[in-house]
Amino acid sequence: MPITKKLLEKQGIPVKNVGQCTNFGGLDIVGRKLYTIKTKKTNDVSAISVYPDYEKTKRTSYRFRNCLNHGNDLAYYDGELYVAPCDCFCGIVDTKTWNFRRIEAPLQISGITHYKNKKFIVMSEAWGDSYRLSIVKTLGNQFLVLDSWRVGNPMASKGYTTSQAITYNPDQKEIYAVFTNVDGRSNVILRSGVRATDPDYCLTSKRSTGGLYELEGISFGPNNVLILGSNLPSGKDSVFTSDIFKRSPLAA
């Protein structure tokens, strides 16, 4: 089914600041260019920002209303941003026109990353001690599921059950999934191969003693440096590399 004009919606309004969109939802990096999404607590307004250089603060932001829900993750592919809204659809934003469209999905998408060609890997059903990963591709105005499998979460017993984001490293052929502890003060990153049912590596963050600390976004920058985005105890957000993490063995 071709994309018609009726499915496109003029949404991205340039704004000087993100206003009440304070909840950092996700990020993706292309070269040195950083894309982020933040959402208002009521989930009816979102702001997507573009940073020409992820190590600098200069940015351009665009506002979206009543279309992206709780933007929980972000993936860039071929001039478009794919937003995981924690719902059974995917929001797609054109990075030239900032028009919005949506495609339907047969599962509730909480994380998304580009895989290869027109295929993506999405996370859903992060329940209890496992989570679901699926390979999907766009077919007209919907996502078609090509493959799906569950991955064990060995850190669930320690409270790391809040799913945040995923990213795929094509060089390593590995998927990285972020989970926050139920108290919102520490995080883990679980790494697994495509179609693997158990992680083979785990990174555990330092625990916050000053309040909320949730990793919200993950992507690989230049030279395969792992870039992370988080809500911090100060109420602000930050983008940083993975050197604040310590290596941790998987829980038994």
- 252 assigned to some structural domain: no
Query: What tens digit of pLDDT does each residue of 98-108 get?
Result: 999 999 999 99
- 242 assigned to some structural domain: no
The pLDDT value recorded for residue 110 is: 96
- 250 assigned to some structural domain: no
The pLDDT value recorded for residue 220 is: 92
Mean predicted confidence (pLDDT) in 81-91: 96
What global pTM score does this model have? 0.89
Query: Across the chain, what does the average pLDDT equal?
Result: 87
- 41 assigned to some structural domain: yes
Phi-psi region of 45 (alpha: psi -120 to 50; beta: other; left: phi over 0): beta
Domain that holds residue 113: 10-232
CATH number (domain holding residue 38): 2.120.10.30
Our count of domains for the chain comes to 1
- 249 assigned to some structural domain: no
CA distance 215 to 230: 4
- 241 assigned to some structural domain: no
- 238 assigned to some structural domain: no
- 93 assigned to some structural domain: yes
